[in-house]
Structure 1
Amino acid sequence: MTQSAEVGIIGGSGLYALELLSRPRTVELSTPFGPPSGEVVLGELAGREVAFLPRHGKGHRLTPSEVPYAANVHALKSLGVTEILSVSAVGSLREELRPGDLVVPGQLTDLTRGIRRSSFFGDGVVAHLPFADPYCERLRPHLVKAARMVGVTVHDAATYVCIEGPHFSTRAESALYRTWGMDVIGMTAATEAKLAREAGICLAPLALVTDYDCWRDGEAAVTAGAVAETMRRNISAAQAAVSRFLDHAPRAETCDCHDALAHAIMSDTSALPAETRERLELIAGKYLG
């Protein structure tokens, strides 16, 4: 059986397996950035080769700061993945975004604190990539359309604020994010989006609203238990949306995301150490000269 895939699915809290996959088989991968979160499950869905990877690992053992984002994206690219659907749980910062709704964010605000690796570069190679539109604008409309086929409420173009975690927000923070115009809150999206852009992979997000964070006066604050319960009730909608996307969206085509590195590397690469060149070969080999 082939060990390649066209589409990668990264599952977040509550989505630890993609039960709709046919002919599932696991593959263990290593990368220059360490091991990924766990085994990658390869299979077929809607006639397409898919690679599924649970973000937090088997048994949800990795905090948002511990997730090996670079290894995960590198591992998927090594399988030939050109598109990623990133599924996650989010809190709502808006009354109209209700628990159980699906959201396809269009923008990001990154409030993580530099604990995690959010770039493949450094160590002598500097790359500054365009990131004004953090998600693939070719894929997003197809994901919105697919999600709307599922029969749940879908919101388009929301702004996702990404915090470090693992703690949820204070009430003051939650209220502040609302004044900034943020719509949903989570702990993983920004890091994945940055690395996918560097890797030349199109990425679209699918977020499941699980709670109202803690900004509502007189209401209990979000808890891990509440998030898990909402995910259990609604994870079928997220899986159905993924399946609809694979069934109806056009197959991979040329996209600006694929060449995001074309004019991004600022460093003189003529004297790069062999070790650095080898580490970056899959991600940026054709741009290193």
Structure 2
Amino acid sequence: MAITLKQLDYFLALAEELNFGRAAERVHISQPALSMQIKELESILEVALVERRPRDVRLTPAGREVLERARRILGEAHELEAAARRRGLSRRLNLGVIPTVAPYLLPVALTRLRAADIGRELRVREAQTAALYDGLATGRLDAIVIADSATRGDLVARPLFSDRFLLAGAAARLAEVGRGRDGHEALRPLALDPEQLLLLDEGHCLADQALEVCGLDRRRPRIDLGASSLTTLCGLVAEGFGLTFLPEIAYRNEAAAAPGMAVMRFARPEPARQITLVRRAATAEDDWFEELAELLSDAGEELVAQACQAVPPGSQG
């Protein structure tokens, strides 16, 4: 009996979830059906792939090797499907976007995409950077939008725009920050009090970037790393609960949603993140990548320009 791609896909889900129930839900089959498929795969390979435990599973050494091969095989298979989609009538593209970019960039970009009428169906998945890289590697995604340079040799990266950070908080809090500077001393991230910072929880690259520009470490207990979204953070700081970093592209949405929130700019050079569109280098050359990059870049620049108009560079409160 031959191994099927579906079996490898089921095994990949189990290897990543490490739980039969969650894996079955992810691939939309029942738990007994998933268990049967894994046992059948183990029978074909004549080796145990997982150690079954009461609440979860662990990969065996053989399972880890099969997982590595399965990712490569599934990646090639999905790449074949993606190439066929791009040549087909629908020309569907699967795009992944990080959560601190998706709700702000996509509404503007998709409006431009519809106006361009380039005959492409765009399906979007919002996830953190590590999951997007995995989706790109396995072929579930054709391209991803991340805040990273993506310099790996197996990837092609197209810079889209620079997204600077604003300091956000209640007006009274920002006034305290202003009073804490001597004379006309410039506002710099390194001068912020860690006890006042509220950042996103583990796994969000925006939190890592904010800590980096402040020269801080996650392990320092004075930094609150509990929020799951920028909207939550902005709502908290608008009510006086600390300060946070707000990307320019998020300013329009979050300022409207949290009217009690004020912002101020840092001194030049302002801390920023580079938003990048990434695809696999092995993906066949086509015009879709550059077309999509241009649309996303234009949308991002529009949002940045709106933030600059509302909070002009050089205005530090």
Please, what TM-score do these two structures have when normalized by structure 1?
0.26
Tell which structure's C-alpha radius of gyration is larger.
2
Greater fraction of residues in helix: 2
Give the structure, 1 or 2, with the largest relative contact order (CA under 8 Å, sep 6 or more): 1
**Normalising by structure 2, what TM-score?**
0.24
